[in-house]
């Protein structure tokens, strides 16, 4: 027990001593949130992350609801760093606008936006500037759409309709693996049989997005009010992938050794967590899992695995200064120098704005 305690103290001290936190986007009276829904992309030290910016609306003490004003419209924004997350600039690409009538923060968008269409082209996933983002309108049944870029997010094409894959609904967030110039493996949340969220499915295109195929159900259908949503996935080999999945009060890990045809439960790397995971595969082949901690002390945490997710370190504490539970939704990426940049939404005062921040740390 003493050795385990000393190891934990060493891990916490290590993370604290080598980390740096910067503000990505912060405006008074605004609610900026949910990078995990939009995605993060990196090209060396150039990093782009997506998020939403609405308007802050204070909640009553004990009210478990996001402090965003659902009667006002919001913006879908990108933040870009050219120096490995040290400094950021904010962009609002016109190509990421939602289609007319789509509900954003509860408010239907005005006419004049891009029309939602079926994708008829062919994407080049090997293009060095390629990125794709998946969006949804409703957490239970969608509908969902995607946009893609070939120039690192400066210009986007879309929105294009995400197929239903024979499901009762698709509530898409951004989680995908590029497997080749024409092959993309995507992880989505499908509605359960009762049309509520949800369970994770694995889908794939092998012709640049012209056609899509449902490969498998990653998780069983959760019973009752529980859900299995918001996957974060990595590829370990041509046949092996891992997917971390958010449940109502924990994060579970699943593995495939036949390129997604079947999945096996691995374990529970983060019990007692009410937040989505961000799973990345480091260049030294370790795994890093980050997430928000929505119980006091509120903040951002990480765990590390050196054996492909079979066992995990104690929590690395990246931040403990959160003002209340309304934070997290991390997305992480590794810089060329080995450090990890973890981006998330945050608050240090529950009665003030929500903002986007990044912690740069050495795992």
- What does residue 3 show for φ and ψ, rounded to 5 degrees? -65, -40
Sheet of strand 287-293: strand arrangement = 278-281, 287-293, 299-305, 316-319
Where residue 308 falls (left for φ over 0; alpha for ψ -120 to 50; beta otherwise) is: left
H/E element, 14? helix 2-18
Kindly state the DSSP code that residue 117 receives in the 8-state scheme: B
Rounded-to-integer distance, Cα 238 and Cα 234, Å: 11
Rounded-to-integer distance, Cα 184 and Cα 173, Å: 15
Q: What CA dihedral angle connects 36, 42, 47 and 53, to 10 degrees?
A: -30
pTM of the full structure: 0.93
- What does residue 357 show for φ and ψ, rounded to 5 degrees? -135, 170
CB burial of residue 260 (10 Å; 0-12, 13-18, 19+): buried
Ranges of residues in the chain with a pLDDT under 50 are 1, 3, 5-16
Q: How do strand 264-271 and strand 355-361 relate by DSSP bridges?
A: unpaired
Tell me which residue of 264, 257, 309, 256 sits closest to 287, measured CA to CA.
309
**CA distances from residue 258 to 200, 215, 262, 288 in whole angstroms, order as listed:** 17, 11, 7, 23
How does DSSP assign 222-238, residue by residue? PPTT---EEEEEEESSS
Q: Are 35 and 49 a contacting pair, CB within 8 Å?
A: yes
Residues paired with residue 205 on neighbouring β-strands, in sequence order: 184
Q: Which two tokens stand for residue 215?
A: 């490969």
What is the reported pLDDT for 8? Answer: 45
What is the reported pLDDT for 62? Answer: 67
């Amino acid at each position: 027990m003493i050795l385990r305690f000393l190891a934990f103290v060493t891990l916490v001290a290590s993370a604290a001593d080598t980390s740096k936190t910067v503000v990505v986007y912060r405006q008074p009276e605004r609610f900026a949130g949910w990078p995990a829904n939009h995605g993060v992309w990196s090209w060396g030290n150039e990093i782009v992350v997506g998020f939403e910016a609405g308007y802050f609306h204070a909640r009553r003490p004990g009210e478990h609801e996001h402090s965003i004003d659902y009667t006002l419209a919001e913006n879908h924004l990108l933040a870009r760093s050219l120096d490995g997350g040290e400094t950021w600039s904010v962009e609002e690409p016109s190509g990421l606008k939602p289609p007319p009538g789509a509900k954003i923060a509860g408010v239907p968008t005005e006419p004049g936006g891009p029309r939602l269409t079926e994708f008829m082209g062919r994407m080049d996933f090997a293009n060095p500037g390629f990125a794709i983002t998946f969006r949804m309108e409703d957490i239970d049944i969608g509908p969902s759409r995607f946009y893609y870029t070939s120039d690192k997010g400066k210009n986007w094409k879309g929105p294009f309709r995400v197929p239903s894959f024979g499901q009762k609904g698709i509530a898409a967030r951004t989680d995908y693996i590029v497997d080749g110039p024409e092959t993309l493996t995507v992880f989505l949340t499908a509605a359960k049989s009762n049309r509520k969220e949800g369970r994770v499915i694995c889908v794939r295109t092998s012709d640049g997005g012209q056609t899509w195929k449902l490969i498998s159900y990653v998780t069983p259908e959760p019973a009752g009010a529980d859900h299995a949503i918001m996957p974060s996935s990595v590829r370990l080999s041509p046949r092996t992938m891992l997917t971390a999945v958010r449940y109502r009060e924990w994060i579970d890990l699943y593995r495939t050794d036949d390129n997604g045809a079947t999945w096996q439960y691995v374990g529970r790397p983060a019990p007692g967590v009410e937040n989505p995971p961000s799973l990345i595969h480091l260049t030294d082949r370790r795994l890093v899992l980050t997430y928000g901690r929505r119980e006091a002390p509120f903040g951002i945490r990480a765990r590390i695995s050196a054996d492909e997710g079979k066992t995990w370190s104690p929590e690395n504490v990246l931040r403990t200064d959160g003002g209340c539970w309304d934070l997290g939704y991390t997305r992480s990426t590794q810089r060329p120098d080995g450090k990890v940049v973890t981006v998330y939404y945050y608050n240090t005062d529950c009665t003030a704005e929500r903002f986007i921040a990044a912690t740069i740390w050495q795992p």
